[in-house]
């Protein structure tokens, strides 16, 4: 029997009636790998991928993060196969702004034509008539936010919203300046940047977004392709009878009420471990110790 508690309460996306549980699920890892091509092709076990998605929903997850360039097309097709027709409360958030080259590379795709094609790819592969939330991912810098105008692609995405293909718009891999520019063009409901226990560049940004009731969704909350490793984190986890990754996720949930988590996995067991982090309460002393890990790492 599947049982999961409140998943760290809910957050209502600004200007919407969309309330999502703060512990969600990221679908990127459902795609496979072909040699050194990450997030490429189908998974080894499609039925296992379907089982992960169904377990997430049965446990109370109602926020799934995806993109049609995962695979490409693979994760959205698996989501549709596993969950369609979708529960009314499920919010599927996708991303546009890139495409995949034959060599597995991540190529900027921010023209109006590119974005229109991406929206229709997402709609078709998810089996939807309208997308709940679409994040525009800036590709001005692949390895982190890079300054530069995002007016043209965001205007194109806003036009697709006006046509009724997109309900709400978010941003990914962006700076505070770009967020301010974007909010002059269209309402922004969420921002998705890299952030975790040791990658703390967005500390001030998170607080600013919280004051404006805008969700912050950290990608790679557990380090991504370089999983978090810290002797101090391991010691803390052992002390409170949790795994290091559960502690790292719990720290994010306690960091700010506007943080929504989307840890990804292709394993049902790992999914269950991640979800348990939502009921792990850290004392102020433990939080201070974890904060120190981030300070120490960033000062090295």
Active site positions, annotated: 70
Q: Within a 10 A sphere around the Cβ of 291, how many other Cβ atoms?
A: 14
Residue 27 region, left (φ>0) first, then alpha (ψ -120 to 50), else beta? alpha
How far is Cα 260 from Cα 23, in angstroms, rounded to an integer?
A: 6
Q: Is residue 145 a contact partner of residue 110, using CB atoms and an 8 Å limit?
A: no
In contact, 64 and 25? CB cutoff 8 Å? yes
At residue 191, φ and ψ (nearest 5 deg) are -130, 130
- Contact (CB, 8 A) for 250 and 279: no
* 169/209 Cα distance (integer angstroms): 15
- What are the beta bridge partners of residue 63? 91
Q: What token pair was written down for 105?
A: 């590379």
Q: Where are the alpha helices (DSSP H) in 163-219?
A: 176-183, 203-211
* 209: its two tokens: 């977004």
Please give the helix or strand (H or E) that residue 253 lies within, else none. Answer: helix 244-255
Question: DSSP string of 64-125?
Answer: EE--TTTBTTHHHHHHHHHHPSPPTT-EEEEEESEEE-TTS-EEE--SHHHHHHHHHHHHHH
Determine the Cα–Cα distance for residues 227 and 259; give it in Å rounded to an integer.
Answer: 20
CA-wise closest residue to 195 among 180, 215, 213? 215
- Residue identified by tokens 């394993």 is 267
In the three-class reduction of DSSP (H, G, I as helix; E, B as strand; rest coil), residue 267 is classed as coil
């Amino acid at each position: 029997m599947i049982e999961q508690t409140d998943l760290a309460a809910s957050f209502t996306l600004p200007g919407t009636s969309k309330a999502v549980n703060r512990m969600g699920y990221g679908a990127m890892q459902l795609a496979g790998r072909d040699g050194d091509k990450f997030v490429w092709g189908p998974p080894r076990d499609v039925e296992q991928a379907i089982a992960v998605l169904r377990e997430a929903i049965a446990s109370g997850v109602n926020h799934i993060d995806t993109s049609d360039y995962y695979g490409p097309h693979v994760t959205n097709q698996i989501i549709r196969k596993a969950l369609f027709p979708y529960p009314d409360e499920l919010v599927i958030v996708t991303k546009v702004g890139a495409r995949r080259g034959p060599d597995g590379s991540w190529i900027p795709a921010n023209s109006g034509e590119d974005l229109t094609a991406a929206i229709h790819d997402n709609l078709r592969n998810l089996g939807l008539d309208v997308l709940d939330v679409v994040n525009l991912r800036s590709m001005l810098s692949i390895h982190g936010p890079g300054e530069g105008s995002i007016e043209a692609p965001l205007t194109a995405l806003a036009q697709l919203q006006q046509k009724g293909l997109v309900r709400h718009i978010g941003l990914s891999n962006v700076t505070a300046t770009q967020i301010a520019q974007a909010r002059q063009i269209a309402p922004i409901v969420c921002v998705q940047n890299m952030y975790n226990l040791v990658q703390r560049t967005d500390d001030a940004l998170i607080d600013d977004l919280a004051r404006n009731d805008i969700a912050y969704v950290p990608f790679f909350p557990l380090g991504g392709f370089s999983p978090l490793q810290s002797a101090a984190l391991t010691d803390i986890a052992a002390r409170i009878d949790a795994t290091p990754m559960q502690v790292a996720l719990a720290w994010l949930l306690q960091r700010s009420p506007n943080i929504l988590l989307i840890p990804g996995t292709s394993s049902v067991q790992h999914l269950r471990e991640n979800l348990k982090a939502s009921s792990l309460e850290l004392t102020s002393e433990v939080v201070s110790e974890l904060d120190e890990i981030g300070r120490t790492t960033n000062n090295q």
